[in-house]
Structures are given as structure tokens and as C-alpha cells.
């Protein structure tokens, strides 16, 4: 009798937080998409970190006697118009986009989470005004907003980070806001109010940890878009600037040769595609893990 009551009592106890983390970890290890995405992503991060140190040839060295040579044992991916080794350039080309896109995402996430906490917590007029502005901005494709801002302030890696970060801010704010709305009516927020905590303390100490998983998933989604935009902007000349070996720039430079020298664009295109798809797989996997 007492033993069974004991069992029931033990079963009714809330699961400790560590077992939730463990459950998520186990789910992560079982997700093939997450693992595949992480492996590809890790490969490009290694390329970005070590860059020219691990390339078989100097990615910036011209060789005017071997321009536009097709893929061969000496040049696995062939050479470009200046005779530079494309395989080496593809490896080095991962660096700038993997600096700019995550920084922009981070900026947008930090600002967007702060803004979302504020408009979700205070609601009222602030929520209405912010909602209208966000809706207006959504009528415009991000590439166009970014294009306009970059035309106005000038293009550099720093302005690309700022512009994409600012463009992402309202989008992330909207997601965080709706998560905050679900929290503000809960008891722990009421308790914090009753014991006299200030609004800032409630927002950042009480509510933030509870909406963080949503912000993190949103961040990985945005990272995919950030890579998409940085690549597109670099391709049309408003993103990363030469002499970077960036993939988008390389494709723009060699695009006119596509009819005869396919290797000058195909490998950079494949690299970009593999990076965005990897981030997408990670996003997909993470969302499933946090749902579990």
C-alpha cells in the first residue's frame, strides 16, 4: 500500500531539468538530418578557419600560363581567368560569408529578442505601432530593402552586417513577441511582479530563459536566410567585395564565361548550395529536437 503510494508520488514528481537536456541530446544524436547538416557545416567552418593554410595551392597566385585550364590532377577544379587554382579558392571562399552571415544573424537576434521582449511585455500602443511597421517592411523583399540601404550607406562587410542585422530585427522580434505573450500570463511572472521585481528584471531574468529555445531556433532559421542574402548580395556586387575569394563574387566574375568554361562557376555554386542546405538541415533537426 505505502509502497505503491510512494511509486505514484515519485512518478508525479516533475522530471528534473537535466533529463530534458539529456532527452534533447539523445534526440539530436538520432536525427540524421541534423548530423548530416552539422558535418557539412563543420567542413566549411574548418575551411573558413584555416583558409589558405590548408589549400594545396596559393588561392591568390596568378598563373598566366595556365589560365582557364579545365579540371585536372594538378588543378582539381581547374583554373580561372587569371590562372588561380579554383579548388583552393573555393576553400578560402568560405571565410567571408561565414563571418558576415553569422555576425548579421547574431546582431539581428540580440536586437530582435530585446525588442520582442519589450513589445510582448508592454503590449498596448508600442505593440500596435511596432506591428504596423513590421507589416509594412514585410511588403518588401529583404533583398530589396538591403539593396536600398546599401546603395545609400555604401557597401562593406560592416555595412552588410548592420543592414542584414537591422532587417532581421523586426522579424525575430515578431517571433519572440508571440512567445512572450504566452508567458506573461503565467504564474511565475505574476509572482515576480508581486515581489516587486522591475520590468527589466522580469523581462530579462524571468521571461528570457523561457523564450530562449524559440529565439535559438529562429536564429538558425535566420542564419540560413543570412547566408542566402549575403551570397545573393555579393553576387550582384552589394555584399562582400573583391579581392575576397567569396563564392558569389567568383560566380559574378566568371559568369560571362559559362558557355565554354563551366568549371569557373559550377564548383562555387555547388559550395554555396551545400552550405545553405547544411544550415537548413541543422535548422530542421534543431526544431525537431526542441519540439521533442
Piece of 6-14, 143-151, 194-202, 206-214 that binds another protein (CB under 8 A): 143-151
Could you say which residues in the range 10-49 bind another protein, by CB under 8 A?
Answer: 33
Total residues at the site for another protein (CB under 8 A)? Answer: 47
Closest contact distance (angstroms) between CB of 205 and another protein is 34
Q: What are the two backbone dihedrals, phi and then psi, of residue 44, each rounded to the nearest 5 degrees? A: -70, -30
What is the C-alpha to C-alpha distance for residues 114 and 108, in angstroms, rounded to an integer?
Answer: 10
Q: What are the two backbone dihedrals, phi and then psi, of residue 85, each rounded to the nearest 5 degrees? A: -70, 115
When the beta carbons of 203 and 252 are compared against another protein, the nearer one is: 252
Could you say which residues in the range 265-284 bind another protein, by CB under 8 A?
Answer: 265-266, 269, 272-273, 276-277, 279-281, 284
Near another protein by CB under 8 A: residue from 34, 38, 91, 142: 142
Closest contact distance (angstroms) between CB of 280 and another protein is 5
The neighbouring-strand residues paired with 85 are 79
DSSP structural state of residue 81: T
| Binding status of residue 141 toward another protein by CB under 8 A | yes
| Binding status of residue 91 toward another protein by CB under 8 A | no
| Binding status of residue 144 toward another protein by CB under 8 A | yes
| Binding status of residue 111 toward another protein by CB under 8 A | no
Residue 146 CB partners (closer than 8 Å, separation 6+): 160, 163, 164, 167, 229, 233, 238
Residue 274, Cβ density class (10 Å: 0-12 exposed, 13-18 middle, ≥19 buried): middle
Amino acid at each position: 500500500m505505502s509502497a505503491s503510494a510512494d511509486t505514484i508520488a515519485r512518478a508525479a514528481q516533475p522530471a528534473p531539468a537535466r533529463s530534458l537536456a539529456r532527452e534533447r541530446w539523445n534526440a539530436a544524436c538520432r536525427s540524421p538530418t541534423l548530423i548530416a547538416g552539422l558535418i557539412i557545416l563543420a567542413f566549411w567552418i574548418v575551411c573558413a578557419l584555416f583558409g589558405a593554410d590548408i589549400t594545396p595551392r596559393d588561392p591568390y597566385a596568378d598563373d598566366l600560363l595556365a589560365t582557364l585550364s579545365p579540371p585536372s590532377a594538378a588543378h582539381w577544379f581547374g583554373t580561372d581567368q587569371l590562372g588561380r587554382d579554383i579548388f583552393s579558392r573555393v576553400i578560402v571562399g568560405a571565410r567571408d560569408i561565414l563571418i558576415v552571415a553569422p555576425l548579421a544573424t547574431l546582431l539581428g537576434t540580440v536586437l530582435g529578442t530585446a525588442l520582442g521582449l519589450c513589445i510582448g511585455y508592454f503590449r498596448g500602443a508600442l505593440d500596435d505601432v511596432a506591428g504596423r511597421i513590421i507589416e509594412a517592411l514585410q511588403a518588401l523583399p529583404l533583398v530589396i530593402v538591403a539593396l536600398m540601404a546599401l546603395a545609400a550607406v555604401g557597401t562593406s562587410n560592416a555595412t552588410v552586417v548592420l543592414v542584414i542585422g537591422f532587417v532581421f530585427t523586426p522579424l525575430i522580434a515578431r517571433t519572440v513577441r508571440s512567445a512572450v505573450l504566452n508567458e506573461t500570463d503565467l504564474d511565475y511572472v505574476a509572482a515576480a511582479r508581486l515581489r516587486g521585481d522591475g520590468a527589466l528584471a522580469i523581462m530579462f531574468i524571468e521571461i528570457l530563459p523561457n523564450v530562449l529555445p524559440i529565439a535559438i531556433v529562429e536564429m538558425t532559421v535566420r542564419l540560413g536566410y543570412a547566408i542566402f542574402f549575403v551570397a545573393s548580395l555579393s553576387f550582384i556586387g552589394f555584399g562582400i567585395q573583391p579581392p575576397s575569394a567569396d563564392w558569389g563574387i567568383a560566380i559574378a566574375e566568371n559568369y560571362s564565361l559559362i558557355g565554354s568554361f563551366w568549371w569557373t562557376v559550377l564548383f562555387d555554386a555547388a559550395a554555396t548550395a551545400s552550405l545553405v542546405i547544411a544550415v537548413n538541415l541543422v535548422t530542421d533537426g534543431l526544431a525537431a529536437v526542441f519540439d521533442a
